[in-house]
Structure 1
Amino acid sequence: MPSMYAPCRNVKPGRRQVTCWELSFFFRAAYLIGFKPWDSGVPPPELTALVDGTDRLPPAKSLDLGCGTGTNTIYLAQHGWEATGVDFVPRAIKAAQRKAAAAGVSPRLIVGDVTRLTELGIGTGFSLLLDLGCFHSIPDSGRDAYVKGATEVAAPGATMRLFCFVRREKPSRVGPRGVARDEVAQRFGSGWEMVQEDEGHPMAGMDAAWYRLRRR
């Protein structure tokens, strides 16, 4: 499995950021003790609208970045999508595999680093990319690599749905670092068009935002 620590090799000076090692340790420990408040077990309406609602897209290849226990990957597979989910926590992927088997579907569920997507052998041509709270946890030094990989595996015209916490002026010492309000447009700008930006439901005292992007 590709290393999940590589993005932290060139952390820029300034306010101390969580390292990839710390991020990995936190999520592995959280899944070990069953602390996963981000795992609602229910696909959000922003996704269901694209799959079985007013903005329905034709089923094709989908990629769930930071898929956790697979709720959304499984939902997509149940609706005819060729679904792939990636997460760097083995325990989360094992839980997703059990849930998928119980649901009678067979999405691809891969342990891997979302900042090194092209090394995972997942292929290209994904028409729908989904990220519910993964990008906002990645250290700043790994975010361009994440965007580069997502851009390379996405099909022309692909849709991406991205949920992020909004970065505070004084970031908390715990929890996701969040994303600056103009950061998504800046980092994704060369390969993606910003289609929609909506306020998300605040959680854990942090504002949130939903983004919809289209691959150029």
Structure 2
Amino acid sequence: MLKKRLKIALALAVLGTTSSANALVIGAGSATGNCFPFGCSYWTPTYQQVYDASAFDAPLPISTLSFYRSIDTWSGNAPNTGIYTFSLSTTTAAVDELSANATANLGGNVLTVFTGALPTDVAPGSRMDIFLDNAFNYDPLFGNLLLSINVTGLASSGNTLSFDAVDNASDGTSRLYMAGGLRDSTGLVTGFNEALSQPVEHDQLANPVPEPTSLALFGLSLAGLFGAYRRRK
């Protein structure tokens, strides 16, 4: 029985280490606040954001996306209502060179990864985590990463809610928004798999991975189990 428990504990420890290693945030430099596409309603029909492949060191299975609210402290906490659809694909479009035609930016491997409503409360200084319905296996060798967002039944929550955004030469991201294909070099600071390795930020997180302190305590318990197993042998 003890041997079985030891195997389970080792498997959980490996899982926690893997989750932390696969987390990445893109958006360097000084951040500002921007309401597209979660905190204002005049960006439709499509929002796209491209991320430079050079920001990814290796292939990455993406299972959560995170957006940050450290700059905006003056408005309410509720994002827009409506059913959001997120898609991911590789793209040949470069950062700051998205086509005005959103369809032309999509790669052949486009995958719908999330359909649903946004969290109802994102407090200042916190993070909005989107848990994907389908993981996307991204390989930077095949091109840049493209996030596409559409929404049905969009309605303003009454707040001009802003999330952290960057606009500088080294941020590695840019966007397309609004009818007519308006484009600029701004992009939301975006976390990939951050929700798997960082503490709970709001109630959308149902099964958080332990914080580093918890993992350390877990490691001590694991060592105790291993010692007990050796003594019994």
Query: TM-score, structure 1 length as denominator?
Result: 0.25
More helix per residue: 1 or 2? 1
Q: Greater CA radius of gyration, 1 or 2?
A: 2
More strand per residue: 1 or 2? 2
| Higher-RCO chain (CA-CA 8 Å, sequence separation at least 6) | 2
